[in-house]
């Protein structure tokens, strides 16, 4: 199916959720590089969202009855569909999000890998199993299984419009749930493409994955629609609003929020490799990466060399929309204002090293030159607040312990990185870094490993996607016991003799009462 045909299918799929509650209100998705219209999409109201959820609820029954093998087969068909049309989807991501085509390919590749892992490991992670009953229930068999929640609502971000929501969508589907997905209003075409692709690849379970489009009101309607769980990715302020809305119906939530991730560069680190990783981790995708590196703490032993290497690399970077550009425009224009404010604040008291690309040649104000921020006070917004743009602060510290203390002095706790020549020290620092994920001598690697959980602490959210934890996140644990034989004395009965509990107390004292 060509891109034009796919977008026609997208329109049909989007309209399909609102047949009975048609809305005349629409909105445009535009290319941040040029302002050209990418597509026009309906603003789904509460009635339309409720209808989509009800269709998904009906589909969830059939989807669950397919079992692990049936779902694995269909998830395989879906990832095959995505893999065959990878360039087509990457072109759409490039046009709607603005990132280079090659970066879009990398994002889609990661999403496909996670789809494969989720489908292949669902049975092992979630399937029924026997567990030990223990002494007090030795006459019982005990079973544990993980049951799907029904319908999962997913509210996705615009910065990684395929990979990030797929971390919830793929794992929720593999766990036996249906999904209703609301993509960001900045990337609705990508979200609708994913849903249309599902309908084409898995026609016998088409309603198991649906999309609704719109603004915050559409997301709020999804929160109130009676879904089994709501998975949200976005900023902490918006996350609080989502949680408050979900609290109205006691809908459980999974929060993947922002970060202010730090890198520690130790005395014996490979400075060139650390600089290369810091530049990629901070500037790729125009810095619009929740797990991107925004702060570096380099020890005094390597600080000067590290700064020289980083600034040399940054000077070669050029934003643009052509094939030679290193990164694209800011997808959300308002985010550019935050980046400019942070840089201006540093310029008033510290040093700003900018890339050599001439801003006068940028097509529009959505393009920002890369900036390295030096001599930045720890109280600066560039250190305390999420910048989410192509900037990087570098601070000289006494040693790695000083670096760790500063890295942990934040309300965020999503991810981070440690560069050190000592495996033991690097692992120790990584474990003590207050974050959900840490890479050693690399950046962002954990996101590419499907078996590892992904999530943060503090204002970076709670709950996990990816890995076994991600599969379990979209289920409820179900415990079942079955009496195998009746005991002469039933402790769970009013007819038990008084001596029975005394005997139990003596036995427990003999087994557990000894001091060891």
Which residues are catalytic, by number?
Answer: 256, 290
> Distance of alpha carbon 191 from its chain centroid, rounded?
15
d(CA 226, CA 212) in angstroms, rounded, equals 15
- CA–CA gap between residue 310 and residue 414 (Å, rounded): 23
> Could you tell me if 23 and 88 are in contact, meaning their C-beta atoms sit under 8 angstroms apart?
no
Burial class of residue 248 in the structure, from the number of CB atoms within 10 Å of its CB (0-12 exposed, 13-18 middle, 19+ buried): exposed
Helix (H, G, I), strand (E, B) or coil at 136: coil
Contact 413, 458 (CB under 8 A): yes
Alpha helices in 332-484 (DSSP H): 333-347, 381-384, 400-407, 423-432, 467-473
Q: Which two tokens stand for residue 268?
A: 């014996």
Question: Is the distance from CB of 365 to CB of 256 less than 8 angstroms?
Answer: no
Cα–Cα distance between 449 and 361 in angstroms, integer? 39
Q: What's the CA gap between 120 and 114, in Å, rounded?
A: 10
Alpha-carbon torsion 83, 86, 92, 93, what sign?
positive
Cross-sheet strand order for the sheet of 475-483: 129-131, 140-148, 475-483
| Centroid of chain to Cα 289 | 10
CA atoms within 13 A on the CB side of 326: 21
How many angstroms separate the Cα of 271 from the Cα of each of 50, 182, 195? 54, 42, 44
CA 346 to chain centre: 30
For the chain, count helices (H), then strands (E): 17, 18
Query: What is the spatial distance between Cα 249 and Cα 84, in angstroms, rounded to a whole number?
Result: 41
3-state secondary structure of 422: coil
């Amino acid at each position: 199916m060509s891109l034009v045909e796919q977008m026609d299918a997208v329109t049909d799929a989007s309209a399909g959720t609102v047949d009975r509650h048609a809305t005349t209100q629409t909105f445009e998705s535009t290319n941040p590089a040029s302002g050209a219209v990418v597509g026009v999409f309906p603003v789904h109201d509460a009635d339309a969202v409720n209808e989509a959820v009800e269709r998904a609820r009906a589909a969830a029954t059939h989807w669950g009855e397919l079992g692990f093998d049936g779902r694995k087969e269909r998830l395989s068909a879906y990832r095959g569909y995505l893999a065959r049309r990878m360039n087509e989807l990457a072109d759409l991501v490039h046009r709607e999000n603005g990132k280079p085509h090659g970066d879009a390919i990398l994002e889609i590749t990661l999403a496909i890998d996670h789809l494969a892992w989720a489908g292949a490991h669902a049975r092992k992670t979630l399937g029924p199993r026997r567990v030990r009953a223990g002494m007090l229930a030795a006459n019982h068999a005990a079973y544990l299984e993980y049951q799907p929640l029904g319908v999962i609502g997913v509210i996705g971000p615009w910065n990684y419009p395929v990979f990030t929501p797929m971390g919830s969508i793929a794992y929720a589907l593999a766990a036996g749930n249906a999904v209703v997905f609301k993509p960001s209003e900045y990337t609705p075409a990508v979200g609708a493409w994913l849903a249309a692709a599902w309908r084409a690849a898995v026609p016998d379970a088409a309603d198991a994955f649906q999309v609704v489009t719109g603004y915050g009101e559409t997301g709020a309607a999804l929160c109130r629609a009676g879904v089994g769980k709501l998975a949200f990715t976005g900023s902490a302020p918006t996350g609080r609003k989502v949680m408050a809305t979900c609290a109205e119906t006691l809908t459980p939530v999974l929060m993947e929020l922002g970060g202010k991730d730090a890198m520690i560069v130790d005395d014996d680190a490979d400075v060139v490799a650390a600089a290369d990783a810091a530049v990629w981790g901070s500037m790729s995708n125009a810095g619009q990466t929740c797990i991107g590196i925004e702060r570096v703490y380099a020890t005094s032993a390597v600080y000067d060399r590290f700064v020289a290497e980083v600034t040399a690399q940054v000077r070669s970077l050029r934003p643009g929309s052509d094939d030679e550009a290193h990164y694209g425009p800011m997808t959300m224009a308002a985010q550019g204002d935050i980046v400019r404010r942070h840089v201006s604040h540093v310029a008033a008291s510290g040093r700003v090293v900018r890339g050599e690309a001439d801003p006068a040649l940028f097509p529009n104000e959505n393009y920002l030159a890369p900036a390295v921020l030096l001599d930045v006070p720890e109280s600066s917004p560039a250190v305390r607040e999420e910048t989410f743009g192509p900037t990087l602060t570098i601070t000289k510290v006494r040693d790695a312990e000083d670096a760790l203390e500063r890295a942990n002095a934040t309300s965020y706790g999503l991810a981070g990185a440690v560069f050190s020549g000592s495996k033991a020290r690097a692992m120790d620092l990584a474990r003590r870094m207050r974050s959900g994920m840490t890479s050693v001598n690399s950046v962002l690697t954990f996101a590419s490993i499907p078996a590892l959980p992904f999530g943060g602490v503090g204002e970076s959210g709670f709950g996990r996607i990816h890995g076994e934890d991600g599969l379990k996140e979209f289920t409820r644990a179900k415990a079942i016991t079955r009496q195998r034989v009746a005991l002469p004395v039933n402790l769970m009965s009013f007819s038990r003799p008084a001596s029975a509990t005394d005997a139990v107390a003596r036995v427990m004292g003999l087994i557990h009462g000894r001091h060891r």
